[in-house]
Chains A and B, each alone.
Chain A
Amino acid sequence: MLEIRNLHATVEGREILNGLDLSIGPGEVHAIMGPNGSGKSTLANVIAGREGYIVTEGEVLFDGKNLLEMEPETRACEGLFLAFQYPVEIPGVANLYFLKSAVNAVRKYRGESLVDAMDFWDLVHERMELVKMDESMLKRSVNEGFSGGEKKRNEVFQMAVLQPRFAVLDETDSGLDIDALRVVADGVNALRSPERGFLVITHYQRLLDYIVPDYVHVLVNGRIVRSGDKGLALELEQQGYALYNEEPGRARRATA
């Protein structure tokens, strides 16, 4: 459902992604691991359409449609979701109001009527329980004053309410205690279905015990240098990225 071919992208004139290929089918969970600064969030931002991330070559197709031509909101309405590595605080916009606006924007895009207030409330309550989020957070401004863990939980909560077809989770596990990690994993697992795809960016093998991936990829210097199954995550945990970090020729051999 997500097809990335030879993707090159620059940020502030610097090439961060250089020739990235990745293909994710419906129902699949892919994990991406890689050292700091290797371009994982850049990939997530390019997929979501953030300003300032300029694609210089290659393509990204979402169900055959050219994703790169779409506005960020169109991508979201087409069923794409990004759980941010650093969720943004938005003072003055209540969480619940924000979420309802988002749900209605997606429904409008699909030609559906505005969400029924009762249905919305039921859905919100059900999903809040899933991620064990406190009701008081709904009335508060989006992420304002939330702890690091609460922000991540709020991302998963939004995902659970919006029910996207494809979700990118950018280090949603970072900064979470063990219980919160479980909650986040449960949130993702509850959405797992034969039609949905996931791209899970993480530094920790631990998360992949809970969200078991079909594939694991190693991203170094803006390219995928190796792919494997979940065993690869264990291997990385033991060996680190040293093997991949040297000159590009060496990395290419590692892929082979």
Chain B
Amino acid sequence: MNAAPVAQNPFRQQFKAFVASRREPDTITRRRREGFDRFIALGWPTHHQEAWRFTDLSALAQIDLQRPTNVPIDANVLPTLNAPAHRLSFVNGCFAPALSQLRGLPNQAIIASLGQALLTHPDWIEPYLEQLPGLSQHPFAALNAAFWEDGAFLHLPRAAVVEAPIHLIFYSIGDHIGVYPRLLLVLDEGAQATVVVEYRGEGRYLNAPVAELQLGAGAVLNYHQIQEESPQAFHLGGIRIHQQRDSQMNSHLVSFGGQLARVDLEALLDGEHIHSMLNGLSVVDHTQVSDHHLWVDHADPYGSSEQLFKSVLNGKARTVFDGMIHVRQHAQKTEARQLNRNLLLSRQAQANSNPRLEILADDVKCGHGSSTGLLDPDALFYLRARGIPVEQARALLVQAFAQDSLNRISLTPLRERLANSLAHYLALGCIEEQ
């Protein structure tokens, strides 16, 4: 159907010009070419491909995506955390030093612009960039590998603990542009960090970020990704995660914005006693689409993973949850849990849920479940029968449903801010904290 978008050929021209303009090590250029070749080989996704069956890209295919230009933005449009934080801001994928602030860091810890580091210290970057498996079939991750210019680089040496949250803000602005930011977070053995990634913007753009998260043995990463792109924007993001033994990943994917937002996440649990928690909340209205494709691969014994995804849908909105827990034969004593719950506020909204388990080991505890339904009329009546007006009663129930996801976020200033945004996105007016 939309197999031959306007998009493909211009990419070729763009890529040629882009690579010619770069001054960077050959290894990096080679990886760009590989990315681009992969994009060409994979082609533009169509709904005939199982992985893209529910993700309609036809509106995006109509856009002749250009390289972004430099646009100055006002600091006020950027979100804050209301707490001391290391802050890196990126506008249209490029580092904005004036909107950034770094605090004191443990010895040898690095937080930097990836683009700058690549110029000054390519040896920092090369060993880690594009080294993880995963997302090999994802055309937009390939496109990102070809076109990324800048992004955030974090490297924590052994046992380094960064207390203050690391706040990474990606702001896109403009129409008909493609932005390809990159995150490279490397935590060596025993390192710990809390990262908040925020995607925002204005205009009709494509944001196709790729994040690579590497957790060494015993490392702990609290990762938050808050997607509040502009209402006309397309967000097609990829996350690769590699965890070594005893490491812990707590990730929270919150999706409020964009006309079409999709995250593909692949995690390899490559060692014993690894914990991976993937917590997700999508709130969508009108014709918004929010889509999560998750793949968690247990390669070794004694691991545990959770995928807890909730969505609230209004209007004609749609969500997709496609979650896979793969347990290799060798990965005995794995405990894995997968739950997808969808609350429909309108009968025209639609939630596609595809929780999957693929278990090759025989001594594991795995469970999954999925439910999709309207607000419980009995609960609604119960509240009204106590005098609570119907609108407030609805708000209370929806808020309770969604807040459950936010309550898993232990970073208090973020959780509180999101609770407020939640009330706003649910168009519920102000709701008191319980």
A94 to B407 CA separation, bound complex (whole angstroms):
14
A81-92 interface code vs B (CB 8 A; 1 in, 0 out): 010100111111
CB of A98 within 8 A of chain B?
yes
Q: Say which size band chain A's interface belongs to.
A: 20 to 34
* A101-B381 contact, Cβ under 8 Å, with A90-B400, A93-B400, A158-B386: no
| A51, B375: Cα distance in complex, Å | 14
B13 CB–A CB distance under 8 Å: no
B387 touches A77 (CB 8 A): yes
Beyond contacts A50-B385, A92-B397, A92-B400: 20 other A-B pairs, Cβ-Cβ < 8 A, are: A51-B381, A73-B387, A76-B386, A82-B385, A88-B378, A88-B379, A90-B379, A90-B397, A90-B400, A92-B401, A92-B403, A92-B404, A93-B434, A97-B432, A98-B396, A102-B388, A105-B386, A105-B387, A105-B392, A109-B387
- B387 and A106 within 8 A (CB): yes
Task: Give CA–CA (A89, B156) in the complex, Å.
Answer: 46
Give the residues in chain A near B390, CB-CB below 8 Å.
Answer: 71, 73
Complex: A97 Cα to B397 Cα, angstroms: 12
Inter-chain contacts of A31 with B (CB < 8 A) = none
Chain A residues with CB below 8 A from B379, complex form: 88-90
A contact residues around B393 at 8 Å (CB)? 73
Contacts of A158 in B (CB 8 A): 386
Chain B, 206-249, CB within 8 A of any chain A CB = none
Indicate which residue in B381, B384, B389, B397 contacts A93 across the interface (CB closer than 8 Å). Answer: B397
A48 interface residue per 8 A CB criterion? yes
Determine the chain A residues whose CB is within 8 A of the CB of B404 once the complex forms.
91-92
- What residues on B are CB-neighbors of A51 within 8 Å? 377, 381
Interface of B (DSSP majority class): helix
Q: How many residues of B are counted as interface, with CB atoms below 8 angstroms from the partner's CB atoms?
A: 25
- A73 contacts B384, C-beta separation under 8 Å: yes
Give min CB distance, B74 to chain A, whole Å. Answer: 37
**Cα-based distance from A75 to B385 in the complex (angstroms):** 8
- Asked if residues B388 and A73 are in contact (CB atoms below 8 Å), the reply is yes
Cβ of B396: which chain A residues have Cβ within 8 Å of it? 93, 98, 101
Give B195 Cβ to nearest chain A Cβ, in Å.
27
Contacts of B384 in A (CB 8 A): 49, 71-73, 76
Residues on B with beta carbons closer than 8 Å to the beta carbon of A91: 400, 404
Residues of A within 8 A of B378 (CB): 88
Assess whether A224 is interfacial by the CB under 8 Å rule.
Answer: no
Contact code string A48-67 (vs B, CB < 8 Å = 1, else 0):
11110000000000000000
A162 proximal to B (CB < 8 A)? yes
- Per-position binary interface string of chain B over residues 389-411, scored 1 when its CB falls under 8 Å from any chain A CB and 0 otherwise: 11011001101110110000000
Residues of A within 8 A of B432 (CB): 97
Q: How far is the CB of A114 from chain B (nearest CB, A)?
A: 10
Q: Which of chain A's residues have a CB closer than 8 A to the CB of B399?
A: 92
What is the bound-complex CA distance between A93 and B386, given in angstroms? Answer: 14
Closest-CB distance, A92 to chain B (whole angstroms): 3
Query: B383 contacts the other chain (Cβ, under 8 Å)?
Result: yes
Q: Using Cβ atoms and an 8 Å threshold, which residues of chain A touch B376?
A: 88
Q: Chain A residue with minimal CB distance to B399? A: A92
Query: Is B382 an interface residue, CB under 8 A from the partner?
Result: yes
A91 CB to nearest chain B CB (Å): 7
The distance in angstroms between the C-alpha atoms of A128 and B432, with both chains bound, is 24
A102-B386 contact in complex given A72-B381, A97-B434, C-beta closer than 8 Å: yes
Closest chain-A Cβ to B419's Cβ sits at a distance in Å of 12
Closest to A101 in B: B388
CB pair A48 B401 closer than 8 Å: no
Most chain B CB within a 10 A radius of its CB, from A51, A72, A109: A72
